[in-house]
Amino acid sequence: MRAIACLNIVIIHSLTSNFVEIDSGRMDIWYKYFQLLLMFSTPLFIFISEFLIAKNYKENLPKNFLPKRLLYLGLPFLIINLGLVFAFSNHNDLYNVFKSYFKIAFMADSLTYFIVVILQFFILHLLLSKWLIKLSPVLVVIVSLIITTLYLSIPKFIEKPDEGFLQIIWNREGWLIILGWFSYFILGFYLGTYYEKVMKNIQNYKLLIVAGFIIAFGIVTYNYFSGFSVYVASKRMDMPFYTTMIILMFLLVFSYVKFVPKFILFISNYSFNIYLIHYFIVHNVGNLSSTPYLNVLFKLILTISISICVAHILNLSPYGKYIIGNTYKVKYDNIKQSKKANMLI
């Protein structure tokens, strides 16, 4: 899932730069629709962070968990944002540097906002996990879906106030408020906590999951083509249900998969690095083809390749992980042995 989310995010930004560089006319409607269908990717990436914590630690986090995560996530957050200021923002003088940095880092004006959301997930896990473990997972997931959907519906159905603190809900900094991501935290917690049980029984619910996915897909498609919501972003009110069904579909499909392809594991290991580095590349490589879909494909291949090379070179130094994030070191043979062990149980 992490590899898929990572590749999709690069495709999304390749499409965005494609709209700027190539006048594709009416085809933009379909390219943007395709981009919309991939908008589950950032929520999926964020969901995975809580899923892995719950799977590995359940409700008992180690004592050094938060300081360690703040170090490995916080420093790249600060450094990458500074790079974004000098690459894409006004930095003519010190005042503009501080102004641009504050906007990028704390007003969700860049892709790094997902780190702020993940850090909030860590705090929520510390505060809520011992309580959530006692509740009905299905009921809590449904309630969380309602909460997140209602929050994301506010800009659509309620007029933005002229002044006051509540204005942030309508602005990009509203993306940082945890209510817009709460359902992904809850889903990640329960799927991670009960992962073995879920994977053992998920095929019993395949018709329900497939039906739910079709309904969610249909809702997103209808909302877009009917003009009800043409906003292409992961912060749409139909995205929590859509993303939830995507995740369940992934788990259902993966329950039939015997082994993880080496390519997927390779991308997964570099996923966090690619996420942080790719934006600098995808918007600077220029127009690689006059054909829209070829332009996106070339940008995807080139951006992924350069991002991995940069990450590999920087992480040859023990300090590289504090700049562009840590590279995972999950080995193919270990996953293969783990799969065989599970098949024998």
pLDDT tens across the length of the chain (345 residues):
999 999 999 999 999 888 766 655 555 788 899 999 999 999 999 999 999 999 999 888 888 898 999 999 999 999 999 999 999 887 888 999 999 999 999 888 888 999 999 999 999 999 999 999 999 999 999 999 999 999 999 999 999 888 777 888 998 889 999 999 999 999 999 999 999 999 999 999 999 999 999 999 999 999 999 999 999 999 999 999 999 999 999 999 999 987 788 899 999 999 999 999 999 999 888 888 878 888 899 999 999 999 999 999 999 999 999 999 989 887 766 666 665 545 444
The residue written with tokens 């006004």 in the block is 90
Q: What is the pLDDT of residue 330?
A: 79
Task: Give every CB contact of residue 334 below 8 A, 6+ residues apart in sequence.
Answer: none
CB burial readout 65-95, b (16+ within 10 A) else e: eeeebeeebeebbebbbbbbbeebbebeeee
**Pair 246, 51: CB distance under 8 Å:** no
pLDDT tens, residue by residue, 254-287: 999 877 888 999 999 999 999 999 999 998 888 8
Token pair, residue 294, equals 């070829």
Tokens 């006059």 found at = 290
Distance, CA of 167 to CA of 52 (rounded, Å): 34
DSSP 315: T
Rounded to 5°, angle at Cα 175 from 234 and 102: 130
How far apart CA 238 and CA 94 sit, in angstroms, is 41
Inter-CA distances, 17 with 186, 197, 285, 306, 322, Å: 34, 43, 10, 17, 28
Asked if 59 and 133 touch (Cβ cutoff 8 Å), the reply is yes
Domain boundaries, the chain: 1-38+258-345, 45-220
Q: Judge whether 220 and 241 are in contact, CB under 8 Å.
A: no
pTM for this predicted structure: 0.92
Strands (DSSP E) contained in 69-228 are none
Expressed in percent and rounded to 5, the helix, strand and coil fractions of the chain are 75, 0, 25
pLDDT value of position 345: 43
End-to-end CA distance of the chain, in Å? 24
Contact between 51 and 57 under an 8 Å Cβ cutoff? The reply is no
Contact 300, 17 (CB under 8 A): no
pLDDT at residue 38 in the model: 97
Measure the CA–CA gap between 276 and 118, rounded to whole angstroms. 14
pLDDT of residue 208: 97
